Amino acid sequence: MNSLREWWALPVDYGWNVAFARSQQALEITKILIGLWCWLFGAAAAIGLVVPGLAEGSLGTAALWFTVATTVPVGVAWWVGGWPSWQMSIAFVFYADVVLAAVVLTIGVPTTVLPTAALFTVIGSYVVGFHGPKLLTAHYGFALVTTAVLYGSALVAEPELRLLATVYLVILILVMFSAPLIVHTFMMMLRRDATGAFYDPLTGLQNRRGFDAAIGNLRLRPGSATGMTAVVMDIDNFKAVNDRYGHLQGDAVIRLAASRILDVFPAPAITVRLGGEEFAIIALDDRDSVVASAEVLRIRLCNAT
């Protein structure tokens, strides 16, 4: 139970997940693959419209036509648009879940269609990559309910094939729940450690590694096209503080300086501790505004007690 609570409480930063994938040059290929998946699903729905007996009812036909009509523009949006915001990403998962459920619950013979519920795993792979335990639980809870309804329909419609339907159900449970949940748990733990590798533990500012990654993605940040200004600062006579008052007081000075930097230069500015008492700031603003803010920072540091 403790492990389950720890998994549920794991922190999730969607923006950081996206930035990390971008820094590893994985974001563009992911967009292409998701767009391609949308089109393949739409193509499968189009084929389903002409397969005899698969979409005989009006609900099944409507679900397939809706899938064909919507997956094309959604796939185009993934290919030509930017990466979705957190809200749009959740909306995409909701859309994919509902469309898939509508299709599998309204077409064909339930026993024949039951294995196609494994496609929920494809959607789950996206959730595993960019979201946290709560959305993953919601997604697989919805998938489980859909699969249960489909399995029940198969038992009612074709009781003579109940053993086959049960075999399909067992395979679906293994495919849909075993590997994704294990992979998600390990990915969350690795992601937590990776996040720490990009930040200075003393100040919470980015470290040199995080700074290099942020600079590599700077052109993709909102406002970067309007201009940016770099500020470099260090603390005079910092060694004397350590020598006279000890390293604990020196650490307190470093933390205070970092706090003032974050107050004056909040996100989306990039703030970094380069090492020791040296800091750097990349502000997405014009030179005059940044110089004025830097002067405010200098005064606040001088007045700090």
Catalytically annotated residues: 277
Tell me phi and psi for residue 221, to 5 degrees: -80, 145
Tell me phi and psi for residue 210, to 5 degrees: -65, -35
Number of H helices, E strands in the chain: 14, 3
CB within 8 Å of 289: residues ≥ 6 apart: 283
For 233, the enclosing helix (H) or strand (E) is strand 229-234
Retrieve residue 183's tokens: 């992979």
- Minimal CA–CA distance to 116: which of 154, 71, 90? 154
For 304, the enclosing helix (H) or strand (E) is none
Dump strand ranges (E) for 32-83: none
- CA dist., res. 115 & res. 60, Å (int): 17
- CA dist., res. 249 & res. 256, Å (int): 10
- CA dist., res. 69 & res. 87, Å (int): 23
Tracing tokens 């599998």 back to the chain, one arrives at: 104
Question: Do 194 and 20 meet the contact criterion of CB atoms below 8 Å apart?
Answer: yes
Tracing tokens 């020196």 back to the chain, one arrives at: 250
- Minimal CA–CA distance to 270: which of 226, 278, 262, 260? 262
Retrieve residue 248's tokens: 């604990």
